[in-house]
Amino acid sequence: MSNSRESGPVNQVFRDSGLERALDEFEVAKFFKVSVETVRKWRKRGTGPRFRRIGRSVRYALRDLRTYWNHLPTGGIVLSTGSKGQA
């Protein structure tokens, strides 16, 4: 059975308009596997993903979460793809 958030007339409007569903701070916390308090701190400090206010509500576009994720620093090593003997 499908999730009620993924079906129904409101979500049909989103699909028809080309808009994507907006996520709340709880969904963002699950997305990044952090606490809701961490998401709130990011928002307060201006260090987290872009968000939009709709009245008192705060919403995040999935596209903005992906952009934020892709711009975070990475760790580990980068393996060279050059030919043998080159460092």
pTM of the entire structure?
Answer: 0.66
Beta-bridge mates of residue 52: 59
**How many other C-beta atoms can be found within 10 angstroms of the C-beta atom of residue 47?**
9
Residues 6+ apart with CB under 8 A from 54: none
Q: What is the pLDDT tens value at each position of the chain, 87 positions in all? A: 444 455 566 556 556 666 678 999 999 999 999 999 999 999 999 999 999 999 999 999 999 999 999 999 988 887 777 656 555
